[in-house]
């Protein structure tokens, strides 16, 4: 008996966050293979980060995500998700259509360059299509405070 893979947004995100945990445990950016994460993202994925952040800008495709994870690792010595909540199911019946889910995460982080510790929320709008993450738009509560702590 074969099982049809789940393509609802919440299942896709849950699987990606589990893969991200394995990726980071294996050494993360520059040490672990991005192949652990790649299947969860569309080849033409787009990640929009606020320009005010040290890793701000638009990151495109798997190569762009690899560079983004390296930039995050350069910025943060620690970046822990303390609590995470999915807002809405994002399920359009599993037909492979575009589904958008909100994800609220409370973060505790420590800046690599300054050693400063921060706690802040992030709300992400994540679009899933055909069982893969297509677009991510994170919204930070206070990008100015994060940028200042990184200087």
Whether 143 is covered by a domain: the verdict is: yes
Whether 92 is covered by a domain: the verdict is: yes
Residue 29, pLDDT score: 86
Whether 145 is covered by a domain: the verdict is: yes
- Domain CATH number, residue 144: 3.10.450.50
Whether 74 is covered by a domain: the verdict is: yes
3-state secondary structure of 10: helix
Whether 4 is covered by a domain: the verdict is: no
Residue 91, pLDDT score: 52
CA distance linking residue 97 with residue 54, whole number of Å: 33
Residue 99, pLDDT score: 92
Give the domain extent around 99. Answer: 9-150
Q: What total of structural domains would you count in the chain?
A: 1
3-state secondary structure of 151: coil
Residue 90, pLDDT score: 58
Chunked into runs of 10 residues, the chain (151 residues) has average pLDDT values of: 59 92 84 91 97 96 94 91 84 68 95 95 96 96 93 88
Radius of gyration, alpha carbons of the chain: 16
Whether 2 is covered by a domain: the verdict is: no
DSSP string, 11-70: HHHHHHHHHHHHHHHTT-TTTS-GGGTGGGEEEEEEEEE-TTSTT-EEEEHHHHHHHHHH
Whether 1 is covered by a domain: the verdict is: no
């Amino acid at each position: 008996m074969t099982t049809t893979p789940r393509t609802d947004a919440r299942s896709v995100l849950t699987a990606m966050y589990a893969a991200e945990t394995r990726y980071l445990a294996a050494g993360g950016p520059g040490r672990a293979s991005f192949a652990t994460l790649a299947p969860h993202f569309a080849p033409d994925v787009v990640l929009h980060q606020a320009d005010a952040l040290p890793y701000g800008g638009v990151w495109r495709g798997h190569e762009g995500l690899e560079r983004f994870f390296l930039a995050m690792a350069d910025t943060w010595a620690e970046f822990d998700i303390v609590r995470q909540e999915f807002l809405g199911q994002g399920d359009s019946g599993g037909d492979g259509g575009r589904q958008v889910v909100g994800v609220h995460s409370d973060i505790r982080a420590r800046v690599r360059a300054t050693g400063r510790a921060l706690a802040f929320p992030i709300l992400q709008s994540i679009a899933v299509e055909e069982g893969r993450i297509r677009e991510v738009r994170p919204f930070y509560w206070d990008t100015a405070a994060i940028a200042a702590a990184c200087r």
